[in-house]
Structure 1
Amino acid sequence: MFAAIKRHCQAILSQTPTNRLLALDVLRGLTITAMILVNNPGSWSYVYGPLRHAEWHGWTLTDLIFPFFIVIVGISLQLSLQRQQLVGKAAAIKQALLRSAKLYLLGLFLVLFYYNFRDVNYSYIEQKLTVVRALGVLQRIALVYFCTVLIALYCATRGRIAAIFGLCAVYLGAMYWLPYQDAQGQQFVGLFEFGNSFAAWLDNAVLGANHVYYAKATPFAFDPEGLWSTLPAIASCISGLLIAQWLQADRSVVQKLRGLLLFGIIAVWLAELWHFTLPINKALWTPSFVLLSSGYCAIALAACLYLCDVKKYRLWAAPFIVFGANAILFYMFSGIVARLLGMISVGSVSLQSWLFNTIYQPMLGDFNGSLGFALSFLALSYLVMYGCYKRGYIFKV
């Protein structure tokens, strides 16, 4: 069995192009794997703490997953920048706009792909179309990616650093000092509370309470991938540009490792200190959260570089290469399957609930059963993604 697994992993590694940064592919795969794992428990009532988001201020390992992906988008963008510049800036911007539009529409498709067959009174138009969530994970990636392309094309290193500081400064300026008021005329300023911040007020005013994730938040409905928090999310992506520039420079792997670790450790340390005055908060994507998540991403990339390029320990990474090579397809596949499991009925419950209640919970218990379901979901996904990888099919947006 172990020999078969080894041959399987070696076959995957043999298909990897020699000119690619293996550590980045592995980190992307680890990130999207973690994202799908936390998104698909057997039951949301039984999820281990590290696999949940922080309730508000603070962070868990799960809170680092999405910003890792954002930073990786920036790294990948910088590594492909020379190819984009060859076609000219106008063509590169057009391509980026088209890609962003596709990402946004894919995200919108996942929002709309649901029907409650168990409720005879369910109205798709009233309960889905007219209250469609405007933003989300893929939608945020779309907006962040396009803005970062513009910065990558027109700004050198100093301009990119200035953009990070500028975006965070504008974000904080509004969060701290722009007054806003609720429907009763009560005025607020400088708050970072659940449902009460400038970011929440803006989402409520522009998107409307029916089109955001936290529709029942008070006094303002808001979205964790909302409008104003997109600014520091762009800063996260720009940090990926700078990390990639460091990797592209003419220096040894050991020097690159040391630089990534030094940046990562300092960034995390500063973020934790900053947390005392500016809370680390994923839903608001505060600049302290930008610093923390970018720092940990640099540390994680350094670890992958060390294992894959210095120590040459690569067999363990093969499954993550498969997932990372088709990250968007993996995300779409998992989203569609998860929704189908919720739509298909077995008696009066969904197929997912039936599987958890009938198989996983009796065998493994509440929390382990929920985790076991998520791991089984990953195993099924791997079979599909490996089939695509083996045939050379890479879904590109």
Structure 2
Amino acid sequence: MLSRYANNILNGLPANRLLAIDAFRGLTIVAMILVNNPGSWSHVYAPLLHAKWHGWTPTDLIFPFFVFIVGLSIKIAIDRQLDAGQARLPIIRHAMARMLKLVLLGWFLALFFYNFRDPSFSWIDDKLLSIRIPGVLQRLGLVYFFTVLIVLYWRTTGRIIWALLLALGYWAMLAWVPYSDGQGHQYQGLYAYGNNLASWVDHMVLGAAHVYDKKATPFVMDPEGILSTLPAIAGCLSGVLAGQFLMNNQLPLLRRITVLLLVGLSAVIVSEAWHSILPINKALWTPSFVLLSSGYACLVLGLCLWLIDHKGIKAWTAPFVVFGANAIAFYMFAAIVARLLLMFSVGEASLKGWLYTTLFQPLFGNYNGSLAFALTFLAVSYAMMHWMYKKGWFWKV
């Protein structure tokens, strides 16, 4: 039965479809929804949480994996468009429209909440007037657009130079550009929480009310802030370059897989060595973090290619294809449902809190109950995405 289910999904894919990328995308969105929706944030296993500051956990790799996959997709899509004779200007217009849609969706999620349990809650004051301007979808939109521009106007060498300039230039700014708190204190070259150049730029440009952590001192903090978007573009370009190498059909598939794995392993080793000089930090999106996450992305992609295209083991990819085919719809659906579970209440508790303490915690305990809630949330989301897949409903922005 499971084999028939997998075949029904996989046989419907175009013959030239790169299944490994679909599987990688699906795995990544599944991981994102899983870590974003525990039953209780007080009871989460450490690998399913972000690192508190320096260092990394598997959860820290999820967002940069998406950025890397965006780069892969850009390379494939633009090659197809240019081969079909499409001019650059319409491609740029389309990229700008997609960027704006992603930004608007991100702002929609930032505003989509009302605390019905708090009589003093003011949506105008607490949400609209203090909207978080950066965010995950906002960063994806910006990274996508600027990567498209670079890919359209620069070839391999130019793309490599851009990636290096963006990553190393960002490092140079963090290390050498001085900044002040306006009270006579001068700073330079710090990587502390709330005290680094990236935080200072967000504090000065966006304002203390419009970022993720409004209470960080002396400057507010946002992990998707302005300055740290520069190395994120470099991470996207690493996906472009990986896709460029992957599409080189003059090399045997196994050799391409081997090179991808070796490059990924080398990047991880170098980034860990670099950590002693420039900390691996997801919130700051340091260049060492870009190298680490791109290295692991190459390893995961290489492993998917080895299993799927070299060994022919494909059935396991079917559910991830379903998730990946509607990645933005999946993300939006999960984010909206998660907010609704917090907005509505049962007695004095939110609906989410009630479900966790009434059903999951008594059955499985604190940590396993929290994980069971996340897995159940994922299963419900899959049912919705599978229904959309069967209907042929694919939401593209």
TM (norm. structure 2) is: 0.98
**Bigger mean CA deviation after superposition, 58-67 or 252-261:** 252-261
Deviation of 1:183 (Å): 3.1
**Secondary structure at 1:235 match in 2:** helix
Calculate percent identity across the aligned residue pairs. Answer: 57
SS of the counterpart of 1:158? helix
Per-residue deviation, 1:111 = 0.6
- Structure 2: distance between partners of 1:222 and 1:54: 15
Map 1:289-300; keep pairs closer than 5 Å.
289-300=289-300
Partner Cα distance (2:216, 2:81) in 1: 42
- Once the two structures are superposed, the pairs formed by residues 342-353 of structure 1 within 5 Å of their partners are 342-353=342-353
SS in 1 for 2:264: helix
Q: Distance in 1 between matches of 2:354 and 2:3?
A: 35
Task: State the partner residue of 1:330.
Answer: 330
Question: Which letter does structure 1 place at the counterpart of 2:224?
Answer: E
- Deviation, 1:15, is 1.5
Q: Which residue of 2 aligns with 1:185?
A: 184
Deviations 1:219-239 (A, max 9, x none): 000210000000000000000
Shift of 1:290: 0.5
Q: In 1, Cα distance between the equivalents of 2:57 and 2:126?
A: 32
Cα distance in 2 for residues equivalent to 1:20 and 1:388: 20
Counterparts in 2 of 1:1-397, with a 5 A limit? 4-85=1-82, 86-250=85-249, 251-397=251-397
The one-letter amino acid paired with 1:76 is S
Question: Whole-Å Cα distance in 1 between the matches of residues 81 and 14 of structure 2?
Answer: 20
- AA paired with 1:74? G
Q: Deviations over 1:257-281 (max 9, x none)?
A: 0110111011001000000100000
Query: How far apart are the structure 2 equivalents of 1:74 and 1:156?
Result: 14
Unaligned ranges ≥5, structure 1: none
Q: How many residues align?
A: 394
Q: Determine the C-alpha separation between the residues in 1 that align with 2:56 and 2:356.
A: 28
Q: Which amino acid is the alignment partner of residue 75 of structure 1?
A: L
Partners of 1:51 and 1:91 lie apart in 2 by 41
SS in 1 for 2:53: coil
TM-fit CA distance, 1:82 = 2.1
- In structure 1, distance between residues paired with 2:77 and 2:17: 11
Moved segments of 4+, more than 3 Å: none
Counterpart of 2:15, as a letter, is: T
Q: Distance in 2 between matches of 1:25 and 1:232?
A: 25
Question: What is the CA–CA distance in structure 2 between the aligned matches of 1:386 and 1:15, rounded to whole Å?
Answer: 14
- Give the C-alpha shift of residue 52 in structure 1: 0.3
Give the deviation of 1:10 after TM superposition.
1.7
In the TM superposition, residue 44 of structure 1 has moved relative to its aligned partner by: 0.3
Rounded Cα–Cα distance in structure 2 between residues aligned with 1:41 and 1:340 = 15
Post-superposition shift, 1:103?
0.5
SS of residue matched to 1:387: helix
Cα deviation code 1:58-86 (max 9, x no counterpart): 00000000000000000010011123333
Residues 337-367 of structure 1: CA distance to partner in whole angstroms, max 9, x if unpaired? 0000011111111110000000000000000
Q: How far 1:184 moved relative to its partner? A: 1.4
Provide the C-alpha distance between the structure 2 equivalents of 1:13 and 1:121, rounded to a whole number of angstroms.
52
| 2: CA distance, partners of 1:308 / 1:8 | 17
Can you give the 5+ residue segments of structure 2 that lack an aligned partner in the other structure? Answer: none
Q: Which amino acid aligns with 1:63?
A: D
Q: Which amino acid aligns with 1:34?
A: A
Give the AA of the match of 1:328.
I
Letter in 2 for 1:61: P
Q: Deviations over 1:174-215 (max 9, x none)?
A: 101111011312000000010000000000000011000011
Q: What is the one-letter code of the residue matched to 2:24?
A: L
Amino acid at match of 1:244: G
Whole-Å separation in 1 of the counterparts to 2:318 and 2:308: 11
RMSD: 0.8
Kindly state the Cα deviation for residue 121 of structure 1 after the two structures are TM-superposed: 1.1
* Cα distance, 1:319 vs structure 2: 0.5
Deviation at 1:12, TM superposition (A): 1.2
Secondary structure at the aligned position of 2:282 is classed as coil
1:390 shift after superposition: 1.1
Partners of 1:167 and 1:261 lie apart in 2 by 24
> Residue 209 of structure 1: SS of its match in structure 2?
coil
SS at match of 1:210: coil
